[in-house]
Amino acid sequence: MSSIDSENVTAIIQKSSLHIYHESPTFARMTIPELKAALLNREYEDNIRISEWMVVLNAKSFLRIQFADCERAKEPENCPAYIRLMLFYEATKPTA
């Protein structure tokens, strides 16, 4: 039996996130500035479930890291961090 290293697991999760995001009709694409306006300078609870297999433990740190990853990406709205930000937005947006 072969062992699974953390890089492979991370790659699988990222590919799954991209697939779910791109196949989901419920997500409205937002620009990075729109996401920043919607997500920053708000208070969040701990342990926010953004997908079946992802829970954000510290929202402030999570957002800082995801936005930094987007800023470093050549195509920010196609990088895994963008998908995680959209999942976070969907999980925390106010309900009507």
The tens place of each residue's pLDDT in the chain, 96 residues long, gives 444 454 554 555 555 555 544 455 456 789 999 999 999 999 999 999 999 999 999 999 999 999 999 999 999 988 999 999 999 999 998 876
Q: Tokens 């402030």 appear where?
A: 60
Q: Is the pTM here over 0.75, yes or no?
A: no
Question: Would you state the pLDDT for residue 81?
Answer: 96
For the chain, how big is the Rg over CA atoms in Å? 14
In 3-state terms, the chain is what percent helix, strand and coil (to 5)?
60, 5, 35
DSSP 3-state assignment of 50? strand
